[in-house]
């Protein structure tokens, strides 16, 4: 079993705590690696290393910074199969999705590398003669990046790629469930030529490492992906220090099926959206809102297809759904299934943990479908697992009302052949992302990603907006008139 320290100033070093923790395969219980458990003192060391490296890194020409990220993407592309298997081993998603996680990381690094040659500012005329006005982007400084376990390559690359190409240095706290993927990513960036101190990784518990990252005075910005409760805590702690904070949090994403929809296509989308990654995506389809005219047919088709899903070893290309990521995750999902039953939702299929071999050593929960009434807890609260609530509505207006009546607003979907309804849905669904005749999952890296309401605080990752989170705008006025000119003052 390989043992990892903390990654500080280009070296793997022991933690100040002297403690360690292990990462395991959620399908088998196998121990994969051991990691030093960081604490507040280690965050201090990481911040010192990032501070020392900042003035050198910010002077790197931005295109050269982009070249390092592009080289990292090339390394990942060569190792895609191996890295995809690592995702499957440590996080539990099926191998096709493990490789997809890696491919998304590659795609974004290739995309954001080009930002090193863009990073556009603006030029504009002055209101005064012989005067020139422009803006350009500058790095913020040291950035704290806190990432989740469900996309252990893609999400860190979204954040790290944008922060690094913009010239920031980083203190990186990965999820404790998937530190091996994070450490491997760090090694790849080091191999690609990232200088020591530019990226520093401190794994460890949120109440020590995460809190210290958020509150450290030298860390000027925080980028966080995780739960709403954790995001609120991050936001309140960081705002006390007037830090810039980007939050990407939960979702309770609706997929609407209208009576004119291609039902076979809608069922395929609902299955992939609900049970892909065992429902452990912030964009997962957790609510299926169906027009009453096709409700019975949709439910029958959905159950029939769900019964055919194959659960098992996520390394097997024929497996449709693997385990959930860990014991705490399993416990939370099972508790919500019980809540659904107690609230009167009708359990249609699934609802249990698989305890018999070969599932008994892992965290396997059956794909679960409820017939539910809007307002039940399972229709309002994020479960983050393979649990789908199916609800009947009378028409488009009710479907949109139900879809919007949650605290989240990340992703949304509608299946319809009616162009008018499709365009109305684009405008009326309260979400940062809307899909037409496609499931709620499937974001592409060259488009902004993020949500409204309690899903986030306005930040957008990926796409042309990716570097906004990690740059300051500098405005410059150049007066070559040779005399004092007074803007807005008439003489």
Burial of 2 (0-12, 13-18, 19+ CB in 10 A): exposed
Helix (H) or strand (E) run with residue 380 in it:
helix 377-380
3-state secondary structure 450-480: CCEECCECCCCECHHHHHHHHEEEEEEEEEC
Q: Where are the alpha helices (DSSP H) in 79-219?
A: 80-91, 95-113, 154-165, 179-191, 211-215
- Tokens 């079993």, residue? 1
What's the CA gap between 192 and 310, in Å, rounded?
39
Whole-number Cα distances in Å, 254 to 54, 136, 290, 443, 457: 43, 40, 10, 15, 20
Helix, strand, or coil (residue 223): strand
- What are the E-state strand segments in 226-271? 244-248, 253-257
User: Looking at the annotation, which residues are catalytic?
Assistant: 248, 282
Q: Where are the alpha helices (DSSP H) in 19-139?
A: 40-57, 62-78, 80-91, 95-113
**Of 224, 290, 278, nearest to 459 (Cα)?**
224
Q: In 10 A of CB 35, how many CB atoms? A: 25
Helix (H) or strand (E) run with residue 400 in it:
helix 396-404
Whole-number Cα distances in Å, 414 to 68, 156, 299, 430: 40, 30, 16, 13
Burial of 278 (0-12, 13-18, 19+ CB in 10 A): buried
What's the CA gap between 223 and 242, in Å, rounded?
14
What's the CA gap between 103 and 444, in Å, rounded?
11
**Of 367, 382, 366, nearest to 148 (Cα)?**
382
Whole-number Cα distances in Å, 104 to 280, 420, 428, 435: 16, 33, 29, 19
What are φ and ψ of residue 320, in 5° steps?
Answer: -90, -35
Q: Report the chain's C-alpha Rg in angstroms.
A: 24
What is the dihedral sign for C-alpha 329, 96, 285, 104? Answer: positive
């Amino acid at each position: 079993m390989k043992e990892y320290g903390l990654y500080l100033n280009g070296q793997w070093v022991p933690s100040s705590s002297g403690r360690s923790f292990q990462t395991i395969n959620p399908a088998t219980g196998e121990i994969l690696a051991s990691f030093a458990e960081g604490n507040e003192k280690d965050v201090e060391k990481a911040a010192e290393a990032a501070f020392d490296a900042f003035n050198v890194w910010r002077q790197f020409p931005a295109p050269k910074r982009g070249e390092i990220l592009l080289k990292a993407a090339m390394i990942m592309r060569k190792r895609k199969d191996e890295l995809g298997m690592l995702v499957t081993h440590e996080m539990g998603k099926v191998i096709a999705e493990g490789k997809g996680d890696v491919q998304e990381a590659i795609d974004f690094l290739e995309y954001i590398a080009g930002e090193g040659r863009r990073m556009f500012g603006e030029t504009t005329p002055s209101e005064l003669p012989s005067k020139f006005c422009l803006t350009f982007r500058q790095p913020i400084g040291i950035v704290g990046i806190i990432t989740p376990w469900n996309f252990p390559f893609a999400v860190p690359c979204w954040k790290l790629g944008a922060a690094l190409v913009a010239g920031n240095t980083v203190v990186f706290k990965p999820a404790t469930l998937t530190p091996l993927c994070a450490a491997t990513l760090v090694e790849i960036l080091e191999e690609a030529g990232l200088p020591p101190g530019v990226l520093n990784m401190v794994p460890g518990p949120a109440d020590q490492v995460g809190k210290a990252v958020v509150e450290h005075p030298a860390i000027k910005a925080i980028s966080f992906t995780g739960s709403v409760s954790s995001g609120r805590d991050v936001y309140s702690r960081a705002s006390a220090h007037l830090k810039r904070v980007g939050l990407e949090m939960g979702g309770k994403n609706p997929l609407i099926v209208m009576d004119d929809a291609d039902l076979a296509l809608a069922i395929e989308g609902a299955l992939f959206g609900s049970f892909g990654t065992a429902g452990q995506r912030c964009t997962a389809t957790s609510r299926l809102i169906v027009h009453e005219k096709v409700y019975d047919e949709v439910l029958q088709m959905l159950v029939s297809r769900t019964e055919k899903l194959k659960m098992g070893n996520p390394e097997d290309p024929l497996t449709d759904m693997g385990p959930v990521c860990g014991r705490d995750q399993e416990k939370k999902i099972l508790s919500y299934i019980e809540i659904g039953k107690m609230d009167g939702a009708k359990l249609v299929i699934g609802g249990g943990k698989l305890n018999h071999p070969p599932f008994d050593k892992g965290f396997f929960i059956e794909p679960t479908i409820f017939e539910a009434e809007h307002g039940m807890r399972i229709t309002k609260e994020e479960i983050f697992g393979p649990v789908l609530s199916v609800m009947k509505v009378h028409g488009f207006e009710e479907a949109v009302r139900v879809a919007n009546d949650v605290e989240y607003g990340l992703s949304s979907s509608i299946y319809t052949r009616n162009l008018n309804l499709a365009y109305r849905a684009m405008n009326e669904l309260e979400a940062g992302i809307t899909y037409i005749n496609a499931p709620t999952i499937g974001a592409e890296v060259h488009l902004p990603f993020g949500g409204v309401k309690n899903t986030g605080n306005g930040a957008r990752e990926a796409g042309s907006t990716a570097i906004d989170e990690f740059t300051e705008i500098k405005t410059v006025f150049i007066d070559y008139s040779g005399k004092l000119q007074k803007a807005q003052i008439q003489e």
